[in-house]
A and B are shown apart, each in its own frame.
Chain A
Amino acid sequence: MIAIALAFLAGAIILAATGYSPIEAYGALITGAFGDIFGIAQTLAKATPIIFTALAFLFAFKCGLFNIGAEGQLLVGAFAAALVGISFDGLPALVHVPMALLAGAVAGGLWGFISAVLKTKLGAHEVITTMMLSYVALYFTSYLVNYPFKAPGGVSQTVAVAPSAVLPLIFQSTQLSASVFVAVGLVVLTYYTLQKTTLGYEVRAIGLNPTAAESGGINVKRGIVLALLISGAMAGLGGAGEVLGVHGRFIEGFSPGYGWDGLAVALVGGLNPLGVLIAAVLFGALRSGGMEMTRVTQVPLDIVSILQALVIIFVAAPMLIKYLLKKGGHKWSD
């Protein structure tokens, strides 16, 4: 919290230095994000995909893994969901929606699984493989949406999914869809899994001390595979939610970097599922309130990016440094 306050203070200095009134700007930001029901809905809508990707990062991190490929897992998940949404017609929504969501999770999970196999079989570091596979996902979905599955017209997008596959909007004329319920449900499920199940116990044991976990009879490789699989599935589910709830189709470039925001949000949220929820809402508020701020005060939208970056620097950077020091410390004591 102190770090976030510091970030806003630093942001105020930048605003003042560039000739804007920080009070006015922040006022507009807050009114925009939380001032009325539409603002709040828009804030939550912007937070939703980031919740998924942040949980994805968090879950892998608890197993000692750096999955920085949530972006790619989200994209393949989104495309798979769109494909299932388009391909079937006349199914009841109660079947079609879960099916499409599941397809998204499976595709994202598969993307994570590839990195897991590369790590456990060949020893390839997951930071490299998840990131590289992100680019593969980006260009692969780009190809699919520009050629085989391109809808007629100038935009690189698929045709709309069947009405039976659409996640309903909660507020008309906002982007807040039922996906937010899935997201919140996943927050609870993640917390529960990590704290109350044998799987979560094993994942955390591996993350904290793989050597002792191994001695305790935990299959470390299996744990790593499962963690990356689940992590990827979470991000894929987020992509599916965007396609089925917000856009109704796969549009190239629909994600402005949700995967990366998720990494930051997971760290800002203290690598704790509930913290992730709060941090995601904060980031969502910056996004949605930023529009209002620009409209009312003419402060350029870029200041939002600056604020986001400041929050990350003040919150996440010290944590990362601490983490790296800890890792380094282990090496020294070897």
Chain B
Amino acid sequence: MTLAVEMKAITKAFVDVTANDKIDFNVDKGEIHGLLGENGAGKTVLMSILYGLYRPDSGQILVNGKQVEIDSPSRAIELGIGMVHQNFMLVPSLTVAENIILGKEPTKSRVLLDTKKITDDVKNFAERYGLNVDPKAPVHTLPVGVQQRVEILKALYRGADILILDEPTSVLTPLETEELFKAIRALKKQGKTVIFISHKLKEILEICDRVTILRRGKVVGTVSAEETNVDELAIMMVGIQVACTFTHAQTERKEVVLKVENLEAMNDRKLPALKDVTFEVFASEILGIAGVEGNGQTELVETLTGLRKATGGNMLLENTDITSASPAERIKRGISHVPEDRQKRGLILDFTVLENLILGSHSTPQFTTGRLRLDLDEASGHTEKLVNDFLIKTPNKDALVRHLSGGTQQKVVVAREFSRKPKLIIASQPTRGLDVGATEYVRKKLVEMRDQGCAILLVSADLEEVCALSDRVAVMYEGKIVAVKYPKETNERELGLLMTGGKCE
């Protein structure tokens, strides 16, 4: 069988991380090839290289057996490669047909758009591939699933024989997913090659002929879908080599700090993101939320901190209902939040260290005089104390946070949130992107806070981290808590399975 795509020893490094490390990746002509891995495993980078969005640092690419240099998406399109991104690149106010022909418009006497021909062309074209769309519908009126179909048609219209789909199902409802799979199978019958990027095991097994698994920028292996199963893929993808280290014996059970009952919430696309979520966090306890990213963790954290509206269920903090409390009120009641995106949510980069350290407490009596005036002397003393206590490496308290290193920025967030004397800390990906030293520091602080009686909800995509720190582990999958495990009663294999939708026996 001939190879549609052959990527040899592809390496691509960014400033602080090697996204692709000598990756070999082969796709046969006419197959549906899955590319599986967790977020940050390097899937999208590899495909962006194939589509000409990035240049590799080293390595070779062969398309249909010929060595090629792909230096731009237009070169990729020439070679018959099309890519459908996670975020669609459509013009919302134009019609389906106009979007599809964009860049290759059929004209009458060179200047006038041949609208009739456009509509007919697109209609025939769509029928040929069994992808039904109304050519005249404006794109912004269409549901996401149909918009995706338009994206696929756009790629095909430009002559794509090799189609890259980047996490195509992440935006779809189950029904839309089924239709997408039908379309993909139809494309295969027409002789097209499809590369299907996903972190969802079941989908990969359902639709793909072969799967290549990436982990931390390296190829773990390529297997035939028929000869593997969810278990094997899960282990390959999550790849826990380090044994879980539950270093601390759980002290006796204390009072409930946070009680979440039947919580429901929507994601940004108005699809259910949290389904009937129920759990409790006790004082002096770290409850870890394990899960592959995108299974509702972000929405859970946002709902708990009041940034997202709950559509059902309720939340109790020390027996007080806080379901409809504002973020400010929750802060006042003792909820601290270390957000997953420190630069976007956690910090105001163009504020000084001092200004960032009082965010959220800036209107409390501690930092105000006469209710409206900021007490800058108090804030100054507070800043000095935190800079010393938390070893924040900053030239002075008036330095802009933008100019600090990533680890130091996170220390600013941690210092601010932990110094509020919280009852509950919600820490989301607290060590993401940090170097070893800073990671250790943040973890140590979390454990310290727990030992002082704080209830901690730790959300992390890093299973090793969850295992190392948590007293109990709750596993989230598709917006549900599928299991709550005591560390002694579980193992990494079971957690890996639960995270990826497998059943434990």
Contact = CB atoms under 8 A, between A and B. Distances in A.
Interface of A: 196-199, 201-202, 204-205, 208-209, 211-219
Nearest to A330: B344
A204 B351 CA distance: 9
A198 B344 contact: no
A214 B346 CA distance: 10
Interface string B337-368: 10100001111111100010011101100001
Given A196-B376, A215-B345, A219-B328, 19 more contacts: A196-B373, A198-B362, A201-B355, A205-B348, A205-B355, A205-B359, A209-B344, A209-B350, A212-B344, A212-B347, A212-B348, A213-B348, A213-B359, A214-B327, A215-B305, A215-B307, A215-B339, A215-B346, A217-B330
A198 B348 contact: no
A197 B331 contact: no
A208 B349 CA distance: 8
Give the most central of A199, A204, A214, A216: most B CB within 10 Å.
Answer: A216
Contacts of A204: 351
Contacts of B348: 205, 208-209, 212-213
Given A212-B359, A214-B307, A215-B346, A205 B328 contact: no
B375 to A, nearest CB: 10
B326 A198 contact: no
A209 B349 CA distance: 8
A205 B360 contact: no
B372 interface: yes
Given A205-B359, A216-B360, A211 B345 contact: yes
A305 to B, nearest CB: 35
Interface size class of B (residues with CB under 8 A): 20 to 34
Interface in B260-311: 305, 307
Contacts of B328: 217-219
B62 interface: no
Contacts of A212: 344-348, 359
Contact of B326 (A208, A211, A213, A219): A219
Contacts of A199: 372
Contacts of A215: 305, 307, 327, 337, 339, 345-346, 360
B374 interface: yes
Nearest to B370: A197
A219 B349 CA distance: 19
Q: Which 7 A-B pairs have the closest CB atoms?
A: A217-B328, A216-B359, A216-B360, A217-B331, A209-B348, A217-B327, A208-B350
A146 B326 CA distance: 49
A215 to B, nearest CB: 5
A190 to B, nearest CB: 15
Nearest to A205: B348
Contacts of A196: 373-374, 376
A208 B327 contact: no
Contacts of A209: 344, 347-350
Give the most central of B305, B332, B346, B348: most A CB within 10 Å.
Answer: B348
B374 A201 contact: yes
A197 B374 contact: yes
A215 B368 CA distance: 20
A201 B372 CA distance: 10
19 contacts: A197-B373, A198-B362, A198-B374, A201-B355, A201-B374, A205-B351, A205-B355, A208-B348, A208-B349, A209-B348, A212-B346, A212-B359, A214-B307, A215-B305, A215-B307, A215-B360, A216-B360, A217-B326, A217-B330
A205 B330 CA distance: 19
A214 B348 CA distance: 11
A84 to B, nearest CB: 28
Give the most central of A205, A208, A217, A218: most B CB within 10 Å.
Answer: A217
Contacts of B363: 198, 202
A213 to B, nearest CB: 7
Contacts of A201: 355, 358, 362, 374
A196 B355 CA distance: 11
Contacts of A202: 362-363
A291 B30 CA distance: 80
B29 to A, nearest CB: 35
Nearest to B359: A216
A64 to B, nearest CB: 12
A199 B373 CA distance: 8
Contacts of A216: 327, 331, 359-360, 362
A211 B349 CA distance: 12
Nearest to B87: A334
A201 B345 CA distance: 17
B382 to A, nearest CB: 14
A198 B347 contact: no
B305 to A, nearest CB: 7
A326 to B, nearest CB: 10
Nearest to A192: B373
A216 B307 CA distance: 10
Contacts of B330: 217
Contacts of A211: 344-345
Contacts of A219: 326, 328
Contacts of B376: 196
A197 B374 CA distance: 5
B345 A198 contact: no
A197 B372 CA distance: 6
A197 B330 CA distance: 23
A213 B362 CA distance: 11
A19 B471 CA distance: 85
A185 B414 CA distance: 40
A213 B307 CA distance: 11
